[in-house]
Chain A
Amino acid sequence: MSTPKQSFMKKYALKATSEYAQANFTLVTSAALTFIFLIAGIDFSQMAVKPVLFSVFIAYAFFTLIQAFITYKVKRDLNQEGEIQRSTRAWGYVQLLSILTGNIFTASFAISLIKKRKTPQYIFAQFMVMAQVFVIAVSALNLFKPYVADTFLTGMFALIAILVFQLIVLFLIVKEKQQPNTPKWKLTVGMMLLLISFTGNLFALALGLFMLLEVFSSNQSTIDKWYNIWEKIAGNMTSMLGMFFIVFIFSISVCSYWTFDYDMAIENNYAAILQSPSLAYPLGTDNFGRDLFSRIIFGARISLIVGVLSTLIPFVIGGILGAISGYYGKRTDNILMRLLDILYAIPGILLAIVIIAAFGSNTVTLIIALSVGSIPTYARTMRANVLMLSNMEYVISARALGSSNLSIIFKQIVPNSMAPMIVKATLTIGGAVIATSSLSYLGLGIEPHIPEWGNILKVGSAYLESHSYLAIYPGLAIIGLVLSFNFLGDGLRDALDPKLD
């Protein structure tokens, strides 16, 4: 006999269980990828199959079928039992193998399916390992080149060693039992995780920080607060996928210092002009015989640096101006905001073009040009928050206790108004990446031979008909990164917004 609560759970199980929605999402995206590989794998002009792409299609089709089967089983379990059975979850281990095909969607679904009780540590650790595997796999493609960078072997060995360590961490987290005392290994492991995050694997950084927080923080509520935030992000599959792509791009652009050869990306090689994708040139070569794959990897560096810095600068300047303006009000507010309104009235991209035209085009002016235009929007967001917060009871009480204005602003108000700013920042990084690429595309950004996604796309645009891959791959990279930042921003908003609690 089932209790009323159980029958209620059973009735709404389909809607209440996140795995079911995830399974459907994964099935659709995986099927779409399979379809793309099917089209790419057939040469329609001669009705013949291309062996490499077609075998990729078969691999993808296999795991998509497994995914369909799992989705069906999950649905049946939920309808009949109200919860997912152990046997169904065991299929996650099979599906985990799909990481070998590079299908991040099925692999990440498998991760969340395997464990019933998913701690954010578990999910982060899984993604950390996946990101590492991807970085190693992509770097290993360099083995097919005529030669590799001098530091390639050292770099690869270090990356593999780190992967082994990460697998151990994952194992420890899976085996971890809930217990009142924080286990001792967390201190060492946390430190080590911080250390390995220099490879750009931000999942390791997050995981390490959380472990150290558990070790050092005596205040359980702080831990709980962070735990809740991580849990919300970790539970949001799209935002985790977005974060995965960002971390992967960031990590590969850091690791490329050791594992990639810069000359491949900028030295002209007239013997290998406009070659189609092959093992030595995984994404083909451009009109100067430069390896498109290396160029995109090195281009990520500039796109990320410019994107992040040109968001960070207006974040800080606009944030401070907004905070001052909102807190002091009256004349200060009027003067500052009217000045910023004037700046706001100038179209951002136009202002950027003017700045670049005046000071010449290089990375620094590019960052400044893109930063200046977005200061007013950050100032406005910050000012609105501060206006709302400065009338709160705790601010009034701090004032009554005699705190100075500065200490009130920076200790009470600013930390509490960060959430909307962070969300805004992640959402605008994408815009900054696009703006960088657009300026380069217009010939106003970075020197044309320097690998930057906009530059690469510009070259590709001239060959859209004859060698379309030259435009498709950098285009996909830009779309992927921007979309990822948007997904991450969405996830962060959900996680940080107190109203949604």
Chain B
Amino acid sequence: MKKAILSFLLIFTLILTGCVNTKSDVEEKSSGSGGSGDSSQPEIEILGMSSNEEDMNIVRDQLVKNGFKVKLNVQPDYGSYKAQQDAGNFDVAISSWTTVTGNPDYAVRSLFISGGDYSIMADEDVDALIDEASTQTPEEYAATYKELEQALVFDKAYIAPLYSSYKTQALNKDLLKPDSVRLSKSRSLAWETIDFQDEAKRSTDPLILSQAISTLTSLDPIKGNDGSINMLNSNMYVRLVNLTDDDKVTADGSLSHNFSIAEGNSEYYFLLRDDINFAKITDKEAVDTGEMVGAEDVIFSLDRAKNKDSVPDHRTYSLHEHIEKAEVVTDLSELEKIKQSGSDESVRAALEEGLDNEITELVDNNDAVDNGAGKYQVVKMTTTEPFPQVLNYLAHQSAGIVSKKQVEAINTYDVDKFDVNKDIPYGDQNTITEGAQYDNTLYASGPYILSHKNDYEAVFYKNPGYMTGTENEPKIENINVRFIADVDSSLSALRNGETHILYNVPENKYDTVEKDDKLQLQSMESNAVSYLLFNTEGREVSKSEDLRKAVLYSINQDEIIDYYQGNKIKAVSTVSPLVNTGNELKADADKAKEFLEKYQSGN
């Protein structure tokens, strides 16, 4: 009996050994590129937030497979991530950037120029290329940005690009007309076009949106540039120009009838509309103040936008540093004399294009304006140097037009002696938060005005004096913005009908949205790029270009795109979504190995 079992076992094992592949058999065949676990492997510390855990894991896996040792530094939120980054506790940091203005200069200036807002590097070649490209027109700058990418990524390897993302939103198509909900590459969601399927609901039912952050930085447009207020301020303040869904500068839905760039690319003319009034909140109702949004307000807004000292905590002046001055033009003949940039026609011709009534007179005073009778206001803006991309910055929410009268009446404090405990600046979120401090002093020039908010939601009303009778008049009377911190909860809220639109659907939930009959998923390429930022101080990677390049060529973007099931796009730098430079980063294990050996032999 025992013998039988034994012999059976023996035969069994013999058969097994014959047909089972062991790991070393398999690896011999593919002559694996993985580094053996010797102690000379360089260690790379990856810093990231727990929300980027997937990216960190992919990078970790790719680095390990290319012979690195990897240490993860996972931080729970942006604050602690930033603290670790400032302390220099990383070799590479998973970083991301979204170009909200839609122009390539913004995508590189503050990130990579020496002394930029977010820049940790100093390289003369890169600086020169960024400055050169900023003065060029789109046809010219493609080549310059290609050179910049070559220097930034391939020659010096200051960053290692990962991917560029899609921008997605999901909406309840049973309730809303899908065509009325815009999805724009850079621009925030425009509320005035959104409409219910059942138009009778416009005045009875609120449109319910959601956003993650409930603490609003400031409702003064120049004092914030973050996720808490971008969408809100964009819809509360009108601008001189807007961006189309594919990031072209347009006058549609803006304060201007038309705009024109004068030859030399340093002077910009805007022909203002007369059918937008400021709205204010009285007894939790939106009221038309009867005060027109005029040239005076435009000049005031642009002056304070570029002036660092116009308000305490000015967070957006660097976007507007190219503005030299803004002024009213009253001499109609000036417009006729000056030619448009790149054309033989006069600026006047550009400004008059498509107008119902030709310009007969240019006026200064708001009271004298009457577009119907041909009396218009024109604002001329001059830049410090030729800089066509300035229009993109004017389309950003921080260039929103505020009321000169109202802001000056509220901001009576001395900027140098501003006391956060005593002085209440215009746009302070406490003034619109329900409670003892509630005192809504907002003057909105945009389609909607914020009435009041609490931790649960913010309530907006339609501006009754906003382009009435035109196609840009807001359709829905009330809009509520719910504050839901967790993206999974916001998706649940959308699915059970609690909210109507969800901005930024995570990749792994596309299926869920698509399977839901009442939801529609809209998606387009965005300006968001994720990349690895190399430390520039005190680490091996900051000293050795070879080590950085070894990391660079270990990154395999195809695998990342596979992981996201095709819902990511290849990128080379932060300008990739904006300019087609033709560059591509190809993963190359041999190159990675070569650079790694070079680095190791240099030690």
Interface residues in chain A, defined as those with a beta carbon under 8 Å from any beta carbon in chain B: 143, 146-150, 152-153, 156-157, 160-161, 164, 261, 263, 266-268, 270-271, 273, 287-288, 361, 443-444, 447-449, 462-463, 465-466
Contacts and interface: CB of A to CB of B under 8 A. Distances in A.
A160 B11 CA distance: 13
21 contacts: A148-B22, A148-B23, A164-B6, A267-B61, A267-B65, A268-B57, A270-B563, A273-B563, A287-B54, A288-B54, A288-B563, A361-B74, A443-B74, A443-B76, A448-B74, A449-B57, A449-B61, A462-B488, A465-B512, A466-B508, A466-B511
Given A143-B20, A287-B54, A448-B74, A153 B512 contact: no
Interface string B336-367: 00000000000000000000000000000000
B155 interface: no
Nearest to A168: B2
B13 interface: yes
B20 A153 contact: yes
B597 interface: no
B87 interface: no
B23 A463 contact: no
A494 B26 CA distance: 53
A153 B16 contact: yes
B57 A150 contact: no
B559 interface: yes
B84 to A, nearest CB: 11
Nearest to B62: A268
A148 B21 contact: yes
B562 A270 contact: yes
B368 interface: no
Given A447-B74, A449-B60, A462-B488, 9 more contacts: A149-B22, A149-B23, A157-B9, A263-B23, A268-B57, A268-B58, A443-B74, A448-B72, A466-B512
B508 A273 contact: no
B559 A270 contact: yes
Interface residues of B, number: 33
B261 to A, nearest CB: 47
A261 B60 CA distance: 19
Contacts of A161: 9
A146 B25 CA distance: 11
Contact of B13 (A143, A147, A157, A361): A157
A129 to B, nearest CB: 14
A267 B26 CA distance: 15
Contacts of B61: 266-268, 288, 449
Contacts of B17: 153
B204 interface: no
A147 B22 contact: yes
Interface in B468-488: 488
Given A270-B559, A443-B74, A153 B13 contact: yes
Contact of B57 (A149, A288, A444, A466): A288
Contacts of A465: 512
Interface in B543-575: 559, 562-563, 565
A448 B22 contact: no
A160 B9 contact: yes
Contact of B5 (A147, A164, A361, A462): A164
Contacts of A449: 57, 60-61, 72
Tell me which of A160, A268, A443 has the highest count of chain B C-beta atoms within 10 A of its own C-beta: A268
B24 interface: yes
B53 interface: yes
Given A447-B74, A448-B53, A150 B563 contact: no
Contacts of B57: 268, 288, 448-449
B50 interface: yes
B24 A287 contact: no
The 7 closest A-B pairs by CB, nearest first: A270-B562, A147-B21, A147-B26, A268-B61, A443-B50, A270-B559, A150-B22
A443 B57 CA distance: 13
A449 B72 CA distance: 10
A147 to B, nearest CB: 4
B232 to A, nearest CB: 29
Interface in B1-46: 5-6, 9, 13, 16-17, 20-26
A96 B511 CA distance: 46
B58 A146 contact: no
B9 A164 contact: yes
B72 A147 contact: no
A251 to B, nearest CB: 20
